[in-house]
Amino acid sequence: AQTVTQSQPEMSVQEAETVTLSCTYDTSESDYYLFWYKQPPSRQMILVIRQEAYKQQNATENRFSVNFQKAAKSFSLKISDSQLGDAAMYFCAYRSGMYSGGGADGLTFGKGTHLIIQP
């Protein structure tokens, strides 16, 4: 079974600064997908970014980018120019791919990192 570990229960950053959230995962599979989801106080889960394991290029979505280190099984999220609206819980998640024989089931989540933005 796969596991996802987020070692930072809480992080704080000044508005307009850059912050990096850590995520490591354990798997024996070669085909998989990784995600970062944001959960603001409204509790809705919002997709931030998606990474395909077979792609070397790190995914980027506006101010959000990842540092995907497949050999190290690391998938960190960098938020640039932090804004007050970025304050939320951030969850890292894993999903098996088709060529790993899986993917029909759901996501495996880490326990989350609470991000605080200081004005």
Partner 1 sequence: DGGITQSPKYLFRKEGQNVTLSCEQNLNHDAMYWYRQDPGQGLRLIYYSQIVNDFQKGDIAEGYSVSREKKESFPLTVTSAQKNPTAFYLCASSIDPPGQGQPQHFGDGTRLSIL
Asked whether position 95 contacts partner 1 by CB under 8 A, the answer is yes
> To which H or E segment does residue 74 belong?
strand 74-79
Find all residues with CB under 8 Å of 58, minimum gap 6, and list them. Answer: 51, 65, 66, 67, 68
Asked if 95 and 75 count as a contact pair (C-beta separation under 8 A), the reply is no
Asked whether position 103 contacts partner 1 by CB under 8 A, the answer is yes
**Residue count at the site for partner 1 (CB under 8 A)?**
33
- CA–CA gap between residue 46 and residue 38 (Å, rounded): 5
Q: Smallest distance, Å, CB 17 to partner 1?
A: 26
Asked whether position 72 contacts partner 1 by CB under 8 A, the answer is no
In this structure, which amino acid lies at residue 51? Q
Asked whether position 109 contacts partner 1 by CB under 8 A, the answer is yes
User: Within a 10 A sphere around the Cβ of 15, how many other Cβ atoms?
Assistant: 13
Asked whether position 91 contacts partner 1 by CB under 8 A, the answer is yes
Site string for partner 1, 19-58 (x = CB under 8 A): ------------xxx-x------xxxxxx--x-x------
Residues in contact with partner 1 by the rule CB under 8 A: 4, 9, 31-33, 35, 42-47, 50, 52, 91, 93, 95-100, 102-112
